[in-house]
Amino acid sequence: MKITRIETFLVPPRWLFVRVEADDGTFGWGEASLEGHAEAVLGAFEPVRDRFIGSDPRRIEDIWQIAYRGGFYRGGPVMMSALSGLDQALWDLKGRHYGLSAWEMLGGRVRDKVRAYAWIGGDRPEHIADAAKARREQGFSAVKMNATAELDYLASPRALEEVSERVRAAQAAGMDVGLDFHGRVHRAMAKQLAKALEPLGLLFIEEPVLSENPEVLSEISHLVATPIALGERLYSRWDFKPFLASGAVDILQPDLSHAGGLSECRRIAAMAEAFDVAVAPHCPLGPLALGACLQLAGCTPNVVLQEMSIGIHYNQGGHDLLSFCANPDVLTPVDGFLPIPTGPGLGIEIDEDKVRAAQAEPHRWRNPIWRQVDGSFAEW
């Protein structure tokens, strides 16, 4: 069995799909989306094709090791996103070949469903309340929201109270709430905000500071009992290793389209389990990324939550999570949970005709840029 084709597709709103095909006609899909940098990932697939067309697609671990270690330079968002999409597609292909779900090949199912949450936005408490109610109607019992626009090194105490008001509005709508600081908050304000929010009983606070400031993260972890989550901007088990060793993080959030795919994120989760740390994969992406996450949840004991994007957040130009999915029921929350797919591979059926048609207008999505009131750059 040999790989004959490795194709990539830029599909709206901002996704990069991967399709791997073998000489017997078996195929698999994956997702290598790297928001705002899709063209760089496309370039990273050139050496992938040179190395692996002609390889046995069933030798997933061997391919992973060569893709990661074989080019001397390793890691980082671009190369790891390419490897992630390839890895997902190989698990999907192998599962289709043998008629098995990826979770079955990775040791068998530990759960039937996983709790899901979705993002909400709004500047005012009433907007947050409306968005939270809409998510409840979609089948969610938990949401995540941004804490704030970027807070400068010092900000008004009123800004902290506004965050609390928005959280209380979502909770009043019957939702459990995770709060994403998004690395927008500097040390002094991050400590104050984390402390002010502690009485509200949040599911977690995410990226209270950027991961390049691990000493501040450790300081905040000693200030509050609220679970601290981090990891969407880390790309391998080696990136996660110091955060586990420091004890500063309670929930790891690897992105299966950035952090080495299903193979590497399964290893990251196993590392986390040894430190009594939970996993809640980052996934504001498309159906294949979410399908890979659900395969991880199916076979991994310490996965506790699954992020998903749907409808009122990422729907751009008519393209939402389900636009290219031919079996949308497997990605529809019920009573706050997503079922673990039971189909072969990733369990996601892609409408290939739609994907190929989308190539007529490939996306050129870029991250928005914001500025502070004084004109200086503000973190996304």
- Which residues are tagged catalytic? 182, 282
Count CB-CB contacts under 10 A for residue 318: 8
Residue count of the chain: 380
Question: Scanning the structure block, which residue is given the tokens 């992938």?
Answer: 48
**DSSP labels, 195-231:** HHHGGG--SEEE-SS-TT-HHHHHHHHHH--S-EEE-
**Angle (deg, nearest 10), helices 261-274 and 60-69:** 90
Give one word for 329, left, alpha or beta, with left for phi > 0 and alpha for psi -120 to 50: alpha
Question: Scanning the structure block, which residue is given the tokens 């750059």?
Answer: 377
272 φ, ψ to 5°? Answer: -65, -40
DSSP 331: G
CA pair distance 115, 236, nearest whole angstrom: 25
